Amino acid sequence: MPTLDIPYRGFTFQAARGLSAAPTLADVLDRLSRKSFAKRPDANYFEAVVEALQQAYGARLEGLGDTEPAAESCTTHVTAVDREGGIAALTTTLLSSFGSRYVLPSTGILMNNGVMWFDPKPGQPNSLGPNKRALTNMCPVVVARDGRPRLGIGASGGRRILGAVLQLASFVVDFGMSLEEAAHQPRIDVSGAEGVAIDRRLPDAVIDRLRDVCRSAQIVEHTVWPQQFACPNLVQRGDDGINHGISDVMSPWSAAVAEPENAG
């Protein structure tokens, strides 16, 4: 199946079609493309991100469904770049911790409990029904420019995935950050049409603006547990042909592997 190609500031975000977070990502990027930002993420930038994510989530939850709460999950995201510059982004999930908690006897494979993705209320866009697929939060993305893949990104973390993927990609595309700078940049989480979680490491001017915009905003620690943000990882093919990558800097179970320069 061909990718959903989303244009954004001279780049193309290539995302998975179907009932993923990609249509909502396209909505958010369209809203942000009409904005101008300073050289670094400031209060105006984060206010624009909050507004775009909340409006896009409102449309998503009304028209596409998805009632999955933010909860413990068993999602894995892998991004990879090879020596020729090919980039892959893959997200797979068991959904809840250990999924259905049922192992197929013949294979030893643990089954997911993806039926939980459906809306339990009948008559809704995402209601459970025969021959239907559920709406999911997965958002693996390859960002290309001039027909060449430049950046691969994705995350685990349920509804928190979209906001993380959006901001990390934006930090690189809009502000020219390196992967290390982007991974260490404090961010926010917007996982629905209301509510904002703000990393307390953000400047006071940003925190004050966002609390004015959203009275229910919560100031949180970006810690390993409780998990307040998604766990992203990124790879990049530099203009010089050198590959770069970074795993989630806040998660001890996130890892990266590099091929030795003289391999092969």
3-state secondary structure of 7: strand
Which among 146, 149, 142 is positioned nearest to 13, based on CA atoms?
142
Active site residue 107: no
Residue 236's nearest CA partner among 165, 155, 178, 166 is 178
Residue 43: DSSP 8-state: H
Q: Is 142 exposed, middle or buried (0-12, 13-18, 19+ CB in 10 A)?
A: buried
Closest CA to 154 of 170, 138, 172: 138
Which of 24, 75, 91, 93 does the annotation list as catalytic?
A: 75
Q: Let me know the angle formed at the C-alpha of 115 by 226 and 189, rounded to the nearest 5 degrees.
A: 30
Rounded CA gap, 38 and 35, in Å? 10
Q: Which residues are catalytic?
A: 75
